[in-house]
Homo-oligomer: A and B are copies of this chain.
C-alpha cells in the first residue's frame, strides 16, 4: 500500500470520490454505534449472574471477624474484602481501606480533602495561590475533570510505551513546590494500554518532590484486566519500591471491581501508607459510619480469593479479545502503510489509542458521528479537552458486539481516510 503522502493530487481526488460514495452508502444504513465509554458489555455482566445468589435470606451475615455486615461499623472494610482488594493491587492488607462502589469517588474525595484539609498537616490547597498536577497525555478524561473541577492547573507530560516521560516528571516534581500530584494509570493505561516499565516505576518511587504533600495518584484500574492468558503485562508493585527509596508516604493507589463484577455496583479500595491512611480516616470517620459491607461480603464470597478473580477475568478476556482483534485487524488491513494514523496494540485494559495526522481528530470524530457512531470526543484524552495536535482518538471496543465492532471499524477507517485526504489536499 502506498502512503497517502506520496499520492498525487489527482490520485487523492480519485480515491476520495470512491470513499465518499462508500461513506454515503454507510450513512444510509442508519447505524447506531457507541464506542464512547469503557463500559462492560451485557455478556460480561452476565458472567457475574451468580453474584446475585451469593447472599440469600439463609446466609450467615457475619464477616470473618464475626461482625454482622448488615449493621453499622467497620469503617475501613471487612477483613475478607480488604484481603481481596489488597491482593488485587499486590499490596499488604494493612495498607488498604475498602470503600463504596467507585474508585473515582475515592479519588475525588482525596483531592477534595487536600483542598480543604491539606495532607498530613500541610497547608490546605484552597489556601494556596497555585496548585498544579502533572497529567500524562493522552490520559483518562475523568481524572482531568476532577483536577479541573478544583481549579488545579494541569501540565501535560508526554506518554511513552514505558510510561510517562520520567525526565520531564522528575524535573517538574523536584523543581516546583506547586506540583502536588500526578495522575497515573500504570497498567494498561487509558487510552493507550501501555504498562509502565520497571524502570519507570522505580523512578517514580525515587522521586524527590519539592512539595512535602506531593503524591502519586496511582489508578490501578486494570490490574487484572488482561486480554491474553499469558499472565499479562507485569507491573512492578510501587509501595515496595517506595519503601526501598524511603518514600513510603508518596503514593495513593486506587482500584475497584467495577470492570470485574458489576459496573457501578462493585467495590472500590484505596491503598496508602499507614500515615496517609490515618489522615484519611480522620475525615472518613466524619463522612460516614461505614461503606456498604453487604456488597463487600458478596464480593468476597463470590470470588473467594484473587485466583477466583483471575479465573473470572479470563472469561471476560474471551469476550473482549475478539472485539479488540477485529479493530486491530481492521486498522492494519485498511490503514497499514498509508501513513495517516498509528495505533496501540494493548495486551489488556479497555481501550485502543489512535493517533491521526495532526489536525484531523475532531474532523474524524465528527464524520463518524454524522454516520451514526459516537466516539469519545476528540481532545477528551487531554486536560481541558485540548489536544494540542488534534490527533488522538480513544477507541472503546468493549460494549458493542464483535459484529458491531467490525461495522464500527469499517466506518472508522473510512472516516480516517476521508479526513486525511482532505487534510493532504489542504482543505
Q: Please give the residue numbers on chain A whose beta carbons come within 8 Å of chain B beta carbons, in ascending order.
A: 37, 39-40, 42, 45, 48-53, 55-57, 59, 61, 68-73, 100-102, 104-105, 108, 112, 115-117, 124, 126-127, 142, 145-146, 149-150, 258, 262-265, 283, 286-295
Q: Most B CB atoms within 10 A — which of A52, A55, A108? A: A52
Nearest 3 A/B pairs, CB to CB: A265-B294, A49-B57, A126-B126
B263 to A71, Cβ gap below 8 A?
yes
> Closest approach, in angstroms, between the C-beta of A146 and any C-beta of chain B?
6
Q: Could you say which residues of chain B place their CB within 8 Å of the CB of A42? A: 68, 71
Stoichiometry (number of copies): 2
B115 to A71, Cβ gap below 8 A?
no
Q: Could you say which residues of chain B place their CB within 8 Å of the CB of A286? A: 108, 142, 145-146, 149
Q: How many angstroms between the C-alpha atoms of A264 and B291 in the bound complex?
A: 6
Q: How many angstroms between the C-alpha atoms of A70 and B56 in the bound complex?
A: 19
Q: A52-B56, A69-B264, A116-B150 are in contact. List 8 more A-B contacts (CB 8 A).
A: A71-B262, A71-B263, A72-B258, A108-B286, A142-B286, A146-B286, A263-B289, A265-B295
Q: Could you say which residues of chain B place their CB within 8 Å of the CB of A52? A: 55-57, 59
A39 to B126, Cβ gap below 8 A?
no
B293 to A264, Cβ gap below 8 A?
yes
Residue in chain B with minimal CB distance to A124: B126
Partner of A69, one of B71, B265, B290: B265
Q: How many angstroms between the C-alpha atoms of A117 and B263 in the bound complex?
A: 29
> Closest approach, in angstroms, between the C-beta of A56 and any C-beta of chain B?
5
A70 to B264, Cβ gap below 8 A?
yes
B53 to A57, Cβ gap below 8 A?
yes
B289 to A292, Cβ gap below 8 A?
no
B283 to A264, Cβ gap below 8 A?
no
Q: Could you say which residues of chain B place their CB within 8 Å of the CB of A295? A: 265, 292, 295
Q: How many angstroms between the C-alpha atoms of A70 and B146 in the bound complex?
A: 24
Q: What are 20 A-B contacts with C-beta separation under 8 Å?
A: A37-B72, A39-B71, A42-B71, A45-B61, A45-B70, A51-B57, A52-B55, A52-B57, A69-B264, A71-B262, A104-B289, A105-B288, A115-B126, A116-B150, A142-B286, A263-B289, A264-B291, A265-B293, A265-B295, A292-B295
> Closest approach, in angstroms, between the C-beta of A402 and any C-beta of chain B?
19
Q: Could you say which residues of chain B place their CB within 8 Å of the CB of A117? A: 149
